[in-house]
Amino acid sequence: MKQKINLITENIKIKTIIIVTVIIITLIAFAIVLKLTNLTKINLIEASKQINISKEVSSTINMVSNQEYKDANTVTVANENNLSILRLNRAGMLPDFNPNIKEYYIIVGEEINNLEVTAVPENEDDKVVIEGNNNLKNGLNTITVRVTSKNNISEEYKIYVTKTSNREEANASLENLAVEGYTLSPNFQSQVLNYKIDVSENIDKLNILAIPENYDAKVEVKGNVNINLNSQKENIVTVIVTAPNGITFQKYQIAINKKQQENISNDKTDILNSSNIIWSENNINSEMNNILSSSNINIQNSLNENEENNKIEAERLSNYKEIELSQKQKLEIIIKQNSITILGILVSISVLGIVVILLYRKKKQK
């Protein structure tokens, strides 16, 4: 009887061990499967991020390429031989600096021997040489600022400096400047030296009134004869004022521009309706042919440009699809690897369970 009880107790212990072992193995397998599942999710998320990053990078590359294309077609080139800055270490230089104005004037006292000149070229490759700004003598001095391009083309800015103790004797400014029948642009100011007027009809000369601030100064007008508005050259009238000291001077310039016609469409209508002008059929056909020819050229250029843009877009999409396909292939490999690992674990658990059952049956038979 006691032996039978011991046998039953031993069988219960064996069964308990087997059950506990199976539960532990099951929990371990479940934990491994769960971890592998999480890893798979993480890999999927990372791969998805990589695809999104690839999209963003592709989009960014396109934006940069488009901007570079725009920048390449909107290049701003600095003018050769021009200055962007010209100033002295003393106030009073006339007129205000303009890159296109090449002559300037200033009056300084006898205590001034040197002037500091700041001259910065518009093109950083240009070379600037400044001469005549040191050891100023009494009377008229000329400072030359020479700007030389890398092609050895030079342009000069001149600053005329009068060194004197009597500023009134060196006064070469105008009190008034006017042109009969026209309005100066801008309005006259003694410190402004450059003006322009618009002229609609042909003229031979201008009636100019120029009154100096110092009545002892001399006024001379140049370029006010044989004005030709149809000429390619500029029509500039120069008023030269020489101060009472006989050496200080200033130049006032008036540019004469041909007035542009306004309301062009109305003028064309008036011309067509005028009985004094007869349009021939040949002229009209010629104009129409020119318009059609110009339109065809523009259409062809537009088609060529669109075709080139389509090729670039097709190439970009092809590259993007290759990136996306590569990411999908990586995902498929990751999933296959995890699937094989899970299957191997399940097979191992099944084999272990079968071994335990066989051992249990063998023990029971004994």
Residue 292 counted as domain residue: no
Residue 74 has pLDDT above 90, yes or no: no
- Picking from 209, 234, 260, the residue at the C-terminal end of a domain is 260
Task: Examine the domain organization and report whether 118 and 158 are in the same domain.
Answer: yes
Which secondary-structure segment (H or E) carries 104? Answer: strand 103-108
CATH number at residue 128: 2.60.40
**Whole-number Å distance between alpha carbons of 253 and 69:** 43
Q: Residue 233's pLDDT is what?
A: 75
**Per-residue pLDDT tens for 321-338?**
554 555 556 566 666 666
Q: Greater confidence, 217 or 228? A: 217
Tens-place pLDDT, residues 189-223? 999 999 999 887 778 788 999 999 999 999 999 98
> Is pLDDT at 3 greater than 50 in this prediction?
yes
Q: Would you say residue 96 has pLDDT above 80?
A: yes
For residue 97, being part of any structural domain is answered with: yes
Strands 103-108 and 154-163, sheet pairing: parallel
Beta bridge partner(s), residue 219: 241
Rounded-to-integer distance, Cα 129 and Cα 148, Å: 8
* Same domain for 157 and 88: yes
Question: Tell me, what's the pLDDT at 30?
Answer: 66
Using the predicted structure, report yes or no on whether residue 263 has a pLDDT greater than 50: no
Mean pLDDT over each residue of the chain, to the nearest integer: 75
Quote the CA–CA distance of 197 and 180 in Å, as a whole number: 11
Please state the pTM of the whole predicted model.
Answer: 0.51
161 and 88 belong to one structural domain: yes
Total domains, the chain: 3
Question: Is 67 found in the same domain as 26?
Answer: yes
- The pLDDT value recorded for residue 174 is 96
Q: Do 111 and 156 reside in the same domain of the chain? A: yes
Residues 71 and 118 in one domain: no
Q: Domain for residue 343, yes or no? A: no
Is residue 85 domain-shared with residue 130, that is, in the same domain? yes
Q: Helix 281-365 vs helix 2-73: angle between axes, to the nearest 10 degrees?
A: 170
Same-domain pairing of 183 and 254: yes
Q: Please tell me whether residues 153 and 184 are part of one structural domain.
A: no
Asked if residue 216 belongs to a domain, the reply is yes
| DSSP β-bridge partners for residue 199 | 258
Among residues 75, 106, 123, the one where a domain terminates is 75
**Gap between the Cα atoms of 37 and 334, Å rounded:** 11
If 0-12 CB within 10 Å is exposed, 13-18 middle and 19+ buried, where does residue 25 land? middle
- pLDDT at residue 38 tops 60: no
Domain coverage including residue 150: 77-165
Question: According to the per-residue pLDDT averaged within each range, which of 55-59, 235-239, 357-361 is highest?
Answer: 235-239
Same domain membership, residue 186 and residue 117: no
* Domain assignment present for 202: yes
Tell me: cis bond preceding 95? Omega within 30 of 0 counts: yes
Asked whether the predicted pLDDT for residue 137 surpasses 90, the reply is: yes
Specify the higher pLDDT residue, 228 or 224: 224
Q: Could you tell me if residue 327 is inside a domain?
A: no
Judgement on whether residues 183 and 244 belong to the same structural domain of the protein: yes
What local confidence, expressed as pLDDT, does residue 243 receive? 96
pLDDT of residue 92: 92
β-pairing, 235-242 vs 218-222, is antiparallel
Close Cβ partners of 83 (under 8 Å, ≥ 6 residues apart) = 97, 99, 119, 120, 121, 122, 128, 145, 147, 157
Answer positive or negative: Cα dihedral of 180, 186, 190, 195: negative
Say if 123 falls within a structural domain: yes
pLDDT, tens only, 53-70: 445 544 544 454 445 444
User: Domain check: are 196 and 148 in the same one?
Assistant: no
pLDDT at res. 272:
46
Q: What is the pLDDT of residue 65?
A: 44
Is position 82 within any domain?
yes
Confidence band of 51 (pLDDT split at 50, 70, 90)? very low
The segment with the largest mean pLDDT, out of 10-14, 176-180, 263-267, 350-354, is 176-180
Lowest mean pLDDT: which of 56-65, 166-175, 288-297, 307-316? 56-65
pLDDT of residue 258: 79
Domain boundary among 27, 58, 75: 75
